[in-house]
Amino acid sequence: MTLSLESEWPAQLDDLGDGRPVGLWVRGRPSLRMWALRSVALVGARACTEYGAHMAATLGAGLAERGWVVVSGGAYGVDGAAHRGALAAGGATVAVLACGVDRPYPRGHTELITRIAEQGLVVGELPPGEHPTPSRFILRNRVIAALTRGTVVVEAAYRSGALVTARAAQRLGRFAMGVPGPVTSGLSAGVHELLRGEAMLVTDAAEVAELVGDMGELAPDRRGPVLPHDLLDPGAGRVLAALPARGLAGAEEIARGAGTTTDDAVGRLYELRSLGFVERHGDGWKLTRQMMIPVHDDRRGC
């Protein structure tokens, strides 16, 4: 099937102005126009690391589970992992090729692209029978950028077609996002350079959906485990923090450390004793054994 400007055309491609495709060839039954309205591009290095493949597949599956269409280029590496993640989750995915839709490229992805055509969509700007060339990959990238609400770069070196896609997305007013990686990895260097600009850092599908989604699609707050002393009221917490990590302290010393009166400190100390945080020895107070590490762990070195 072909898409012209009059039939089932994704209007966001018109943002390309004079650079928009004249038409698109499509394999698959779903409506590209409808799918593109809620789509995200996942792109990155062909020779990606295991980390990059894992992150691409995880993002693809997570976005698909949230009802997002995963768009990529069908290539080896990050592209293939993103498509497979979406397919494994039973979700929707679109492969935008730099050749005719009847010529799966790369050949090693013939089975994958055939599956995408059966479960999703395969799209190409070039007519059937056309072969890919280096310049056609660059032209293909602008279609991916314009078609989607945002582009996520999972791994990319400094010179990477994935960065071309992300920067095209930025010029079109779309979101550009990057997944951070090890600073020692050359395949994360391009992503980090992108993040030093106006791209947004994302680590999972929830964070991507928060950026590109509708109001209210918020990622959960990130925080460490809740420890027992986190549940104390502020006054009791200050008194507990004023106790030394080891040894005894008197009520007056603890009161000075907590910035309160001795009477208030004594009252708080008895409250803390009832909760199992401290114990009394004569006129002194000390942390219980189980509290010595958790309460003062943040004061210790690495």
pLDDT, residue 40, reads 98
pTM over 0.95: no
pLDDT, tens digit (0-9, with 9 covering 90-100), for 167-210? 999 999 999 999 999 999 999 999 999 999 999 999 999 999 99
pLDDT, tens digit (0-9, with 9 covering 90-100), for 249-266? 999 999 999 999 999 999
Write down the H helix ranges in the chain: 32-36, 50-65, 78-88, 110-119, 134-147, 161-171, 186-195, 205-212, 234-242, 251-258, 262-274, 292-296
pLDDT, tens digit (0-9, with 9 covering 90-100), for 9-56? 999 999 999 999 999 999 998 999 999 999 999 999 999 999 999 999
Using an 8 Å Cβ cutoff, are 218 and 185 in contact? Answer: no
Task: Determine the average pLDDT of the residues in 223-232.
Answer: 74
**Calpha distance 36→33 (Å, rounded):** 5
Rg (CA), the chain: 28
Name the pairing type of β-strands 249-250 and 284-287: antiparallel
pLDDT, tens digit (0-9, with 9 covering 90-100), for 75-129? 999 999 999 999 999 999 999 999 999 999 999 999 999 999 999 999 999 999 9
SS3 track for 127-196: CCCCCCCHHHHHHHHHHHHHHCCEEEECCCCCCCHHHHHHHHHHHCCCEEEECCCCCCCHHHHHHHHHHC
- Residue whose structure tokens are 């400094």: 158
Q: 291-300 burial by CB neighbour count: b if 16+ within 10 A, else e?
A: beeebeeeee
Residue 8's pLDDT band (cuts 50, 70, 90): confident
pLDDT, residue 296, reads 46
Using an 8 Å Cβ cutoff, are 212 and 206 in contact? Answer: no
pLDDT, residue 263, reads 93
pLDDT, residue 92, reads 97
